[in-house]
Amino acid sequence: MNNKISLSIVVLLVFGSVSIPAAYAQLPVGPELITNGGFESGDGTGWSLGPDDSVISGDASSGTYSSQIMPDGDASQFFPAVRTSGNLTFWGKCTSDSSCQVVVAVWHGNTGDYSTIDMTNEWQQYTVPVDNNQESRGVAFGVLYVPGPLPSSVLIDEVSLKGPAPEGEIPDIPTIALPVIVAVIGLVFLFQRRKRE
């Protein structure tokens, strides 16, 4: 009977500890740094748009609005310098049947890390790596002009970049690992006890 109780306790500890590392894998992230990243204000609030660029309705990855960036146009946004806690993500698409390219910059001080992304005419989510060891202070999107009869503009939506995680919300690994350690010790003790019997 005691063996059954001990085994039940060990099983509960093992299964109880499985969910804790999974929760640890989803560490908390900080607040959103991008203002009006989905353009759902219906205008360019928070953004600096080129003279021919605009916020349109009726074609968005979610919600109602997105930003249309024309060839040689740009959309940019700056915020107080801060270390980020993830990568820049956004949704984008070309407005023509052909492919197009957008240049994305993440600004650190007076320099930027640039990425060139090939897009299609279908909404798709893109991720741009961000150097989290540097303080970021802004993002910018620009369309590369491709000569031709119908140079394509680009639509962007759901732009997101997270700030640093609030202090004290990331649990210590030893605290998380404690149930696993207890379960392993319990199993060893149980098996040694059975060998003696």
pLDDT at 11: 42
The mean per-residue pLDDT over the stretch 69-80 comes to 92
∠ Cα 15 16 17 (to 5°): 90
Going through the chain in order, the beta strands assigned E by DSSP cover 48-49, 54-57, 65-69, 74-83, 88-94, 100-108, 111-119, 124-128, 135-143, 154-160
Percent of the chain with pLDDT over 70: 65
Quick one: average pLDDT of 87-115?
A: 89
Is the pLDDT confidence value at 172 over 60? no
- Residue 136's region, left for phi above 0, alpha for psi from -120 to 50, else beta, is beta
pLDDT confidence of 57, banded at 50, 70, 90?
very high
Contacts of 37 (CB under 8 A, 6+ apart): 90, 158, 159, 160
Check pLDDT > 70 for residue 195.
no
β-strand partners of 108? 111
Instruction: Give the pLDDT of residue 144.
Output: 73
pLDDT at 7 over 50: no
3-state helix, strand, coil in the chain (%, to 5): 25, 35, 40
Question: Where are the domains positioned within the chain?
Answer: 48-160
Mean pLDDT of the chain, nearest integer: 78
Residue 27 is predicted with a pLDDT of: 54
The dotted CATH code for 48-160 is 2.60.120.260
Residue 30 banded pLDDT, cuts 50, 70, 90: confident
User: Would you state the structure tokens that stand for residue 177, as one six-digit string?
Assistant: 């690992």
Q: Encode pLDDT of 116-170 as tens digits.
A: 999 999 999 999 999 988 999 999 999 876 555 556 789 999 999 999 877 654 4
Cβ contacts of residue 11 below 8 Å, gap of 6+?
none
User: For residue 166, what pLDDT is reported?
Assistant: 76
